[in-house]
Amino acid sequence: MSFESLGLRAELLRAVADKGYSEPTPIQIQAIPLILEGKDVLGGAQTGTGKTAGFTLPLLQRLISTAKAVKKGRRPIRALVLTPTRELAAQVHESVRTYGRHLSLKSTVIFGGVSINPQKQILIRGVDILVATPGRLLDHVNQRSVDLSNIDILVLDEADRMLDMGFIRDIRKVLALVPKDRQTLLFSATFSDSIKKLANDLLRSPTLVEVARQNTATETVEQVVHPVDKKRKRELLSFLIGSNDWKQILVFSRTKHGADRLAKQLNADGITSSAIHGNKSQGARTRALADFKAGEVRVLVATDIAARGIDIDQLPHVVNFDLPNTAEDYVHRIGRTGRAGNEGEAMSLVCVDELGLLKDIERLIKREIPNVVIDGFKPDPSIKAEPIFKGRGKQQGSRKSGGKKKTSARNSNNGNKRPASKGNSSKQGQSKKQTQRSPRRSPQGNC
Ligand code: AMP
């Protein structure tokens, strides 16, 4: 299947060729012709499937085909893309600019955490496409710098996350302001009852296009669990990064405080790291992401919300320093790697307290994740599980890493006698670890 056969115009095909895409992804093959026809689409696709181009390319084509000459005054906003986070908004807007580079459409992005006035200046000049997070969009509506009465196409990207983040009221307020006679596209990685209800209210006879459902999204990602005591997680992480010479690693932390602490500790270990989370200013988040993308910072430690939508081509390693509280977040997290057919590796450092969370994840993805104990990091079986403490509170000290742990990790026998669990072969770098698969669900020490 080629991009040409999807019915896209020459300017868009040129932009796609400039990007180096040779063929459309499955979501693009399904969604592009439908959107070009003007249909409402309910898209079951998570980040990494190529969904952004899947809605942006036909959206641009529809806008350019129906563009009217603007006689006087500013051009009306005709397409609105709502996203849950600032990072995703910025990335979607980047896609709009990239794919629309040979067209004469204007676009901008608005999100909170930065001054509103420069955004107003751009809006006053008029844009065809507006990418926005819901809160800042409503601020602009209230200050009359945005008029939504000419919207022809409304896109809700990562709608499940918007609901998780409590944006439902804001979304409903926006819906009251856009014309009823419009085309609506809703993308979501998961289809909870609340998403189905929202889709029902929003879409008119939508066509469902679905790829890489939440329980199959993980095919290009090699997943592994490394059992370890909680107090040795940081030490193990430093060891894995150092011994495998990983260059670009996205690490997930359950809490903002934990993310900051971990980044600090990794820096102290000589591994350049930054943390991004909701308490950081937009400037600091953008800088951290840019440094990470440019390879100036080796590790980016992120909370779930801050990492949402981070789009880095071929991100090879994702580490779950803590397992997320919900199994769906695990799928979102590992979706950061293995994108658009590239292979990726997702490791989870799991302590005994987290075995229940792990079970939930395996139930959701419908498979057991291979369990690999790293030599020298075998959990202490005498330590009992404790309830997971969500939020801030007691912290356990972690030892500094040093040369000793590497030596012991390489030379010691971890004592597990059971054979490897099936289905996961060691990848590059793993051979260095001299690992052994552990039996499933044996008590593995306290977190
Ligand atoms: P998305 O799911 O929209 O976040 O896209 C994930 C990644 O896939 C982005 O880095 C895109 O640049 C890339 N991508 C989108 N479409 C294609 C394609 N047809 N071929 C190769 N890469 C693509």
Residue 312 alpha carbon, nearest atom of ligand 1:
10
Q: Is the CB of 52 under 6 A from ligand 1?
A: yes
Q: Indicate whether 198 pLDDT > 50.
A: yes
Instruction: Say if 330 falls within a structural domain.
Output: yes
Q: Which residue puts its alpha carbon closest to atom 16 of ligand 1?
A: 50
Domain harbouring 253, CATH code: 3.40.50.300
Q: Is the pLDDT of residue 101 over 90?
A: yes
Q: Of 335 and 358, which is predicted with more confidence?
A: 358
Q: Is the pLDDT of residue 436 over 60?
A: no
Residues 191 and 233 in one domain: no
Dihedral of the CA atoms 396, 397, 398, 404 (nearest 10)?
A: -130
Distance 350 CA to ligand 1 centre (A): 31
Task: Specify whether 17 is located in the same domain as 135.
Answer: yes
Q: Is the pLDDT of residue 120 over 60?
A: yes
What value does the mean pLDDT take over residues 406-423? 32
Asked whether residue 82 falls in the same domain as residue 181, the answer is yes
* pLDDT for position 310: 65
Note whether 336 and 187 are same-domain residues: no
Q: Which domain holds residue 307?
A: 221-365
Domain membership of residue 138 (yes or no) is: yes
Query: For residue range 208-234, what is the model confidence (pLDDT) as tens digits?
Result: 898 754 434 456 678 999 999 999 999
Residue 391 is assigned to a structural domain of this protein: no
The reply to whether 178 and 312 lie within a common domain is no
Domain for residue 307, yes or no? yes
Specify if 397 maps to a domain. Answer: no
The neighbouring-strand residues paired with 299 are 249, 273
Q: Is 91 near ligand 1, meaning CB less than 6 Å away? A: no
**In this predicted model, what pLDDT tens digit does every residue of 8-61 receive, in sequence order?**
999 999 999 999 998 999 899 999 999 999 999 999 887 778 899 999 999 999
Q: How far is the CA of 48 from the centre of ligand 1 (A)?
A: 6
- pLDDT, residue 296, reads 92
Ligand 1 and 370: CB distance under 6 A: no
Across 251-272, average pLDDT: 94
Residues 178 and 267 in one domain: no
Question: How far apart are the CA of 205 and the centre of ligand 1, in A?
Answer: 27
Give the mean model confidence (pLDDT) for residues 63-82: 83
The verdict on residue 385 lying in a domain is no
Please state the rounded mean pLDDT for residues 104-133.
95
- Say if residue 47 is in the same domain as residue 180: yes
Banded pLDDT at 427 (limits 50, 70, 90): very low
pTM over 0.75? The answer is no
Q: Is the pLDDT of residue 412 over 80?
A: no
Tally of domains within the chain: 2
Read off the tokens for 78: 């005709």
Our mutation pick for probing the ligand 1 site, out of 27, 55, 339, counting the most ligand atoms within 8 A of Cβ, is: 339
User: What's the CA-to-centroid distance between 19 and ligand 1, angstroms?
Assistant: 9
Q: Are residues 189 and 87 in the same domain?
A: yes
CA distances 235 to 219, 254, 306, 313, 349, Å, are 29, 18, 24, 28, 11
φ, ψ at 79 (rounded to 5°): -135, 135
When mean pLDDT is compared across 247-256, 313-322, 419-428, the lowest value belongs to 419-428
Higher per-residue pLDDT: 332 or 177: 177
Q: Are residues 197 and 294 in the same domain?
A: no
Burial class (CB in 10 A: 0-12, 13-18, 19+), 288: buried
